[in-house]
């Protein structure tokens, strides 16, 4: 946090330099936790044609359309299904939150109902989800109704919460659809990411897009189902083998170690910000409802990577700088590079002092 800061300092050459003194921002590393791992996956989905309001899932929809439902570990085959379906403008998507497996230390926590709704609400605010999504759609399953599910296509699990969603495909690109669907499934597969972003934005006041990229670096050990090509560097945390579960657990980094090891690529934050804040077809013009024989790949990291060529690897503390934030929220690279130039010029004069919790 910046204090009353600009002290005059006279160099040996008698030139006046403005020294900027800032208090370091402290974070709770139990919440922004580098020991998180990617958890198991399950996707229940179908596509259909309807005038149904996407904000409302008709009662009994899944049962009435059981023959169309596909259960799988990812979104594989979704694009082909859309292409092969004669008429389609909606997608049904069900999320199940799985009970932690006592034998697997990697699945040691699930998000609370407040965190789940908070994540969906925050994602709607910053356009990683459409405005019609019901942020309270995911509800706990009563304990008496929780049943072990064995499925050859997905990981065996005990669902403890579930939610149903309908996505309007009209005027939507595959890249934006991937963002929408991935944002919801983060709740099950990578709960460390929503928990970290919620904390950094709501408690610390970090810019959302900066928080999203930094949290990806800190909490994700895989980009297999992520919207960015950003994840925790391999081997960053000490791994300990657990004989009982035959898995490895990671020891979380303290803040200093995290700051020394994690550098946020500002171009990724810029790309994500422009992707969601512009027309849904601006950077990927493949309209889901105007399909052709082949629509190409179904992810968005390559699209986001191409949006901005502005480049800077920011330390955690630098993510709070006004010029870094302005670069992230820029409309084009000319503006972004001007912001980054201002930051580069003042960077040698920024001094940080330790902060209390």
| Mean per-residue pLDDT, 340-348 | 96
Please determine, for residue 84, whether its predicted confidence score (pLDDT) is greater than 90.
Answer: no
Give the whole-number percent of the chain exceeding pLDDT 90. Answer: 58
Give the Cα separation of 146 and 62 in Å (integer).
18
pLDDT at 171: 93
Measured in residues, the chain has a length of 357
**What does the pLDDT look like over 163-184, one tens digit per residue?**
999 999 999 999 999 999 999 9
**What does the pLDDT look like over 226-240, one tens digit per residue?**
999 998 887 777 777
Distances 97 to 31, 161, 184, 224 between C-alpha atoms, Å: 19, 5, 11, 19
Structure tokens at 280: 């849904």
Provide the whole-model pTM.
0.89
Structure tokens at 65: 């359309």
CA 96 to chain centre: 18
Distances 252 to 105, 239, 287 between C-alpha atoms, Å: 13, 10, 42
| Mean per-residue pLDDT, 255-279 | 94
DSSP helix/strand/coil, 260: helix
Please determine, for residue 8, whether its predicted confidence score (pLDDT) is greater than 60.
Answer: no
Please determine, for residue 15, whether its predicted confidence score (pLDDT) is greater than 50.
Answer: no
Q: Which residue has the tokens 């330390």?
A: 315
**What does the pLDDT look like over 16-58, one tens digit per residue?**
457 899 999 999 999 999 888 888 888 899 999 999 899 999 9
Give the Cα separation of 34 and 28 in Å (integer).
11
Q: Which residue has the tokens 């296509």?
A: 153
If you average pLDDT over every residue of the chain, what do you get? 87
Q: Are 89 and 52 in contact (CB under 8 A)?
A: no
pLDDT at 357: 62
Q: Are 63 and 69 in contact (CB under 8 A)?
A: no
Give the Cα separation of 160 and 140 in Å (integer).
6
Maximum average pLDDT range among 99-103, 185-189, 299-303: 185-189
Give the Cα separation of 96 and 164 in Å (integer).
9
Please determine, for residue 283, whether its predicted confidence score (pLDDT) is greater than 80.
Answer: yes
Least confident window among 104-108, 200-204, 286-290, 315-319: 104-108
H-only helix segments in the chain: 61-64, 78-84, 113-125, 174-189, 192-198, 208-219, 255-261, 266-277, 301-307, 322-328, 333-346
- Angle, helices 113-125 vs 174-189, to 10°: value is 160
Q: Are 158 and 149 in contact (CB under 8 A)?
A: yes
Please determine, for residue 2, whether its predicted confidence score (pLDDT) is greater than 50.
Answer: no
């Amino acid at each position: 946090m910046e204090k009353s800061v600009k002290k005059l300092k006279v160099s040996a050459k008698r030139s006046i330099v403005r020294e900027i003194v800032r208090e370091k921002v402290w974070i709770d590393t139990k919440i922004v936790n580098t020991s998180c791992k990617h958890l198991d996956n399950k996707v229940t989905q179908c596509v259909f044609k309807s005038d149904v309001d996407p904000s409302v899932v008709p009662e009994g929809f899944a049962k009435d359309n059981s023959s169309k439902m596909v259960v799988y570990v990812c979104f594989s085959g979704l694009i082909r299904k859309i292409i092969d379906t004669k008429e389609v403008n909606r997608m049904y998507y069900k999320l199940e939150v799985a009970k932690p497996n006592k034998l697997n230390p990697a699945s040691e926590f699930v998000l609370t109902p407040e965190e789940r709704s908070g994540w969906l609400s925050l994602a709607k605010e910053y356009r990683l989800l459409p405005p019609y999504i019901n942020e309270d759609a995911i509800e706990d399953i009563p304990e008496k109704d929780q049943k072990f599910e064995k499925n050859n296509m997905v990981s065996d699990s005990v669902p403890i919460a579930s939610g149903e969603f309908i996505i309007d495909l009209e005027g939507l690109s595959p890249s934006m659809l991937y963002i929408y669907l991935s944002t919801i499934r983060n709740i099950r597969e990578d709960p460390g990411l929503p928990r970290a972003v919620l904390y950094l934005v709501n408690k610390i006041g970090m810019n959302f897009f900066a928080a999203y990229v930094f949290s990806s670096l800190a909490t994700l050990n895989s980009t297999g189902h992520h919207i960015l090509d950003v994840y925790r560097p391999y081997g960053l945390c000490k791994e300990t083998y657990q004989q009982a579960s035959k898995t490895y657990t990671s020891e979380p980094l303290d803040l200093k170690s995290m700051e020394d090891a994690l550098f946020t690529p500002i171009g990724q934050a810029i790309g994500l910000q422009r992707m969601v804040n512009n027309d849904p077809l601006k950077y990927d013009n493949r309209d889901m409802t105007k399909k052709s024989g082949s629509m190409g790949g179904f992810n968005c990291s390559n699209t986001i990577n191409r949006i901005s060529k502005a480049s800077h690897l920011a330390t955690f503390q630098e993510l709070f700088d006004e010029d870094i934030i302005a670069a992230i929220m820029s409309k084009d690279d000319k503006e972004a590079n001007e912001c980054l130039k201002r930051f580069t010029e003042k960077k040698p004069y920024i001094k940080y002092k330790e902060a209390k919790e």
